[in-house]
Structure 1
């Protein structure tokens, strides 16, 4: 039975990459079955393949909402907590990272432990897993920043509330470019909103923003960091206090 299930979801995982097949898979109950496998199976191989298929489905906004309403974050979080294989964690982190890019799901995703699940996976230390975690954090920060700009969100970042800032600062200059690129972007999005400035200053993020504005290989991120630093009264005051020539 386990082999039959594994073969079935392996086929689905390949098919899901084609956008034209996604609606058929969901209509046939494929998404529900994949989520059920995460909750009912103890086989990590099945978890890995199912999570990979869910990650592919989670690239579609409609599917993202279905995953959330069917308890997907809780199931993915439990799978991550019990997983030992870095490839399983990579698939789970990829699925959550895709969900982090949906503006409408931010509060629900955080409330059901999505951010903490991402942070919990950094224990693995595998660069592919860390890259997916970083992508999820960047996606979340971008959506959150947009909501703050539009006035639909107030208060400091949920990423800061859930304890993500130390890891973000620690990895903002990671030697692996996929990790570093996502984290640099996340820092810039967080820094655009003055309500986050105090925590970012005390957490060491100001120094990283200065470095990003000067040394980042991507001009758009350098420009964003520079604009953020020069427009923030809190950052400006702290740079004067520290006599940072800027």
Structure 2
């Protein structure tokens, strides 16, 4: 996230004129300082727009002269000029350009601190991206971190905002922590000034994007600060803190810290934020709940505190990120046995069915299918089928040319669990005028190995019903072709699956076994028997062979 700065309102030229009079009693200046003042006044009086102004080498040297003067008023003039220039600066800065500004940051004068901190913050915020790295390389961080301890709200705001902006660059995030920014930032997160608090929270959020920083933040007590600020009335602060907790909650160890510190209260607060009118707050609260729901002990608590009632309406959100976060959280909650009844009763199944049909939303489709798979594993088959989920899964497989491989893997895996139910098998075989099995047979030749495996497994489940044997074995390609491809794989799991599928067919009629005996499958099975591929597969091959020989 970016940052806001506290702008100075005073006129830079007016300060120089009032300080040195020019025509009245002038302060005692060195000749070089007098020449520098004249050069800067001429520069400020130029007709060109601020955006068109560029510092020549001579003018840059004049500003350096003022900045390094022993005269506080000249230093202040330099700081004000730098802050004016920074407001419209769009060029990359050099270390040489930054050195006098960094020197001014160390001034004990509050006015100079205000102007110089605003200048460097603007250069980081409004200039090109490379300015952020250059500012750090120039050594500005140590001075900025010192200024975080200022008692002046404007200096706090500018400095915090600058560090927030610097922390948007990956290479700076760790360096900011190494140089000691966490303690003063945590302190500023408690101040009453809303701009300062907002910038401090934003800076801390940016630091959580690095794993090693998260450990330092947790050890420094940041979790307590973030949890407390979740109840802020400021939407930005809520957003930053929910996002920071979400990032920290990626680690199992840190999730325990979050829950332990608040005695679980944080779950209630995050659930309340999921009902926020602010979409971005809603989304980040959802992401935090999703990560906390990675631990089984939190899943029950989330449901108990009304998490499902808050999550399900978000599946209808117009914001893709919020929908993604909500369905991901639902998927984690569906892992726990006992939650499945609550999820079914919440009305989520109908929404999951709808989400599967969303075009070009592969992450949402993956999480929706994963949730259905988890619920099917807990014997909620009938409810899932009645909600239209099986049909929605089938539709995606039928449209496989336009569906990414990771989505096909999740969808075929979910279907593979569902077809252990006889009602699901019957519905599948009736879909698309009884032609859906053709989709499955073709997908056993998918370029995605998981899809091949899952679809072959589904065919094996369909073969549990003898009435489907004829259509499966006489199709083009047939289940026999499917099993041959599996047996040709140099992968024991695929060979194991093929033998299991053959076993389902061999439990059928004499005519089915006769058909299989006449096929080249029997030669493959004999080959596996003799090869002693491994003990388990050899035993399965022996069993398959004996079953097929039965009259």
- Counterpart in the other structure of 1:229: 333
- Counterpart in the other structure of 2:163: 54
Which structure has the highest helix share of the two? 1
- Counterpart in the other structure of 1:32: 142
- Counterpart in the other structure of 2:130: 20
Q: Which of 140, 151, 159 does residue 258 from structure 2 map onto?
A: 159
- Counterpart in the other structure of 2:186: 77
Compared with structure 1, are the counterparts of its residues 119 and 193 closer, same or farther at alpha carbon in structure 2 (3 Å cutoff)? closer
- Counterpart in the other structure of 1:118: 226
Moved more, 184-193 or 222-231: 222-231
Give the CA deviation at 1:72.
1.5
1 or 2 for the larger relative contact order (CA 8 Å, sep ≥6)?
Answer: 1
- Counterpart in the other structure of 1:215: 316
The answer as to whether partners of 1:197 and 1:234 remain within 8 angstroms in 2 is: no
In 2, Cα distance between equivalents of 1:19 and 1:68: 20
In 2, Cα distance between equivalents of 1:31 and 1:189: 33
Deviations 1:59-104 (A, max 9, x none): 12332212222222211111122x2121111101100111122222
- Counterpart in the other structure of 2:211: 103
Larger Rg: 2
Structure 1 unmatched runs, 5+: 148-152
In 2, Cα distance between equivalents of 1:234 and 1:22: 50
The answer as to whether partners of 2:208 and 2:248 remain within 8 angstroms in 1 is: yes
Q: Which of 170, 192, 199 does residue 272 from structure 2 map onto?
A: 170
Structure 1 length-normalised TM: 0.82
Compared with structure 1, are the counterparts of its residues 95 and 14 closer, same or farther at alpha carbon in structure 2 (3 Å cutoff)? same
In 1, Cα distance between equivalents of 2:304 and 2:245: 20
The answer as to whether partners of 1:37 and 1:50 remain within 8 angstroms in 2 is: yes
Does residue 127 of the first structure (1) align with residue 231 of the second (2)? no
In 2, Cα distance between equivalents of 1:136 and 1:30: 25
Does residue 7 of the first structure (1) align with residue 115 of the second (2)? yes
Compared with structure 1, are the counterparts of its residues 86 and 25 closer, same or farther at alpha carbon in structure 2 (3 Å cutoff)? same
In 1, Cα distance between equivalents of 2:239 and 2:283: 9
The answer as to whether partners of 1:96 and 1:118 remain within 8 angstroms in 2 is: no
Deviations 1:139-161 (A, max 9, x none): 333xx1xx5xxxxx458443323
Corresponding residue pairs, total:
232
The answer as to whether partners of 1:122 and 1:133 remain within 8 angstroms in 2 is: yes
Give the CA deviation at 1:56.
0.7
The answer as to whether partners of 2:231 and 2:238 remain within 8 angstroms in 1 is: no
CA RMSD of aligned residues (A): 2.5
In 1, Cα distance between equivalents of 2:258 and 2:276: 19
Compared with structure 1, are the counterparts of its residues 205 and 76 closer, same or farther at alpha carbon in structure 2 (3 Å cutoff)? same
